Amino acid sequence: MATSLPAALPAALAALRSRVRTAICAAMLCAAALLLTACAAAQKTETPAPDNLGTVSGTVLYRERIILPPDAELTVRLLDVSRADAPAQALGVQTMALAGPPPYAFRVAYDPQSIDPRHSYAVAAEIRSGGRLLFITDTRHAVLTRGAAGTAQLVLKAVGP
């Protein structure tokens, strides 16, 4: 014995499908809005140096073909290396989390009033993970004075086994 569907059932199913489509579209729009908001917030995390600050910029790389741990951080310092009998004085520091392969761009801000044309300045870099030193510059990279530019390309060397 065949049972026939009530005449109103197809209309009710069509209305239900329409509501489901509307709910899915609304959910997708909300997800897209959240994604755009997150992207905009991520772009605002890097604050540019104020106009009254100078910058030293360049790239850092290492030649070993390895993947860094997820917590690896690069630190680049602008140093006054004029005094041989004293530790170098840091005039600017930039630390950043690393993602992806090298080279990594850096931009260290400093106060131009702290630069003495008679002094020597250099940039140095290191990569650490969990407090452990992985890579470091092993040569001096002069910047800013005595004919040196405000840019540097740093090649880091692996530390230890």
CATH number at residue 100: 2.60.40
76-90 pLDDT tens trace: 999 999 988 888 889
Judge whether 87 lies within some domain.
yes
Judge whether 120 lies within some domain.
yes
Lowest-confidence range among 2-16, 62-76, 94-108?
2-16
Number of domains within the chain: 1
User: How would you label 64-92 residue by residue, b for 16+ Cβ within 10 Å and e otherwise?
Assistant: eeeebeeebbbbbbbbbbeeeeeebeebb
Judge whether 122 lies within some domain.
yes
Half-sphere exposure of 22 (CA within 13 A, CB side): 6
**R_g of the chain computed on alpha carbons:** 28
- Residues 108 and 96: beta-carbon distance below 8 Å: no
Judge whether 60 lies within some domain.
yes
Distance CA 82, CA 1 (A): 102
123-154 pLDDT tens trace: 999 999 998 999 999 998 989 988 888 899 99
Judge whether 78 lies within some domain.
yes
Judge whether 106 lies within some domain.
yes
> What's the confidence (pLDDT) of residue 145?
87
Residue 53 sits at φ, ψ, to 5 deg, of: -105, 145
Judge whether 80 lies within some domain.
yes
**Residue 126 lies in domain:** 54-158
Judge whether 20 lies within some domain.
no
